[in-house]
Amino acid sequence: MRFPKLPRSIRQLSSYVLALALGVVLTVSTLQVLPSQAEPAPQVTGGDTPQLIAQRQSPATAAIGTSSFVTAAVNRVGSAVVRIDTERTITRRVDPFMEDPFFRRFFGDGFSQQVPSEQLRGLGSGFIIDKSGLVMTNAHVVDKADKVTVRLKDGRTFEGKVQGIDEVTDLAVVKINAGNDLPVAPLGSSTNVQVGDWAIAVGNPLGFDNTVTLGIVSTLKRSSAQVGISDKRLDFIQTDAAINPGNSGGPLLNGQGEVIGINTAIRPDAMGIGFAIPIDKAKAIAAQLQRDGKVAHPYLGVQMLTLTPDLAKQNNTDPNSPIQIPEINGVFVMRVVPNSPAASAGIRRGDVILQVDGKAITSAEQLQNVVEDSRLGQVLQVKVQRGNQTQQLSVRTAELQNAS
């Protein structure tokens, strides 16, 4: 069957749609019309103006530029993204056998005193947030490092001094002395981020400097418990932009080249999923780290689980279950940390937390956020159900000393 020949304008439109489709697939590649496929150059006459010439150009030629929005976004922030190299010396434990008098009698004291050590090197990313040389990165990138080296995109390297680390939010601030005219990454707002927005990850994955990957925001407020790092207190931005080891601490950008998150929480089993700390949370933490060198987090001292009637019923119908759980919504206390505020207040394993200061609590993440937003030393009125009875307990928060 022969199809009628399409008008020239429709063929042009088809080429334009195809070019756009290819542009989505190729993402960061620059779209250009090849000379062999381009329309003939318009004829210029003496009375032509630039506007008339532009009107005679084909839609494809006029619409496709020489660079993408990704290029513009990366150019805006790229020079402020840095590579962070760390070194750490660890000393291995001496085998107790070497300290045995019988061993030392045959091999001598000098042999047992040779303590082996190992040099560990790490790699991460970061970005400059102030012209004075303040660099934001992940805590796990620089934690326990003996030496921190910050390398700029232009090749300059500087020794970095860690100003503060917060393990709970996996954030750190590093200072370099490089004058007062450093490039600064423009910080956006994570409050305005929506699912489906463009997400551009910049960093040094696997040691490949200045790498850019493109994706979208997959979801918002992905809790640290869902991500699999229960010792953190964060709600992450989830993205399908490729984030690999070495990207940690680098910026996640929106389509305008503003930082909306800090790449982190890389899971080895994640297929096409990455996570970033919202920049609004990072701004607040960074300010405290610059001022105090640490961040004080209140805590209760319970290991907890979100409880639903269905979950409780499954437990109660199991003949091997060691405990019967109320079939209600709340937070089940799996363990109470010894000498913690919860232990001092009388909270017990098996209690179900129902309310805090009169507000209903229906999930572990909600309880964690309520405690995180409280003040150190603040007394919280906690309503718990214990068996068939409810009790009101007063819990005074204390400072969390060890995130793990």
User: Contact at 8 Å (CB) between 73 and 256?
Assistant: yes
Amino acid making up residue 343: A
Tokens of 70: 């990704």
DSSP sequence for 305-358 = EEE-HHHHHHHHT-TT-SS---SSSEEEEEEE-TTSHHHHHT--TT-EEEEETT
DSSP 8-state symbol, 41: P
Separation between Cα atoms, residue 244 and residue 404, nearest integer Å: 24
Separation between Cα atoms, residue 214 and residue 23, nearest integer Å: 13
Catalytic residue among 166, 170, 235, 351: 170
Residue 140 annotated as catalytic: yes
Query: 264: which residues sit within 8 A by CB, 6+ positions away?
Result: 138, 140, 170, 236, 248, 249, 275, 276, 277
DSSP 8-state symbol, 231: T
Amino acid making up residue 158: F
Separation between Cα atoms, residue 361 and residue 330, nearest integer Å: 6
Catalytic residue among 68, 85, 125, 140: 140
Nearest to 123 by CA among 163, 159, 83: 83
Catalytic residue among 248, 351, 363, 374: 248
Q: Write the Ramachandran bin of 27: left for phi over 0, alpha for psi from -120 to 50, otherwise beta.
A: left
Q: Which residues are part of the catalytic machinery?
A: 140, 170, 248
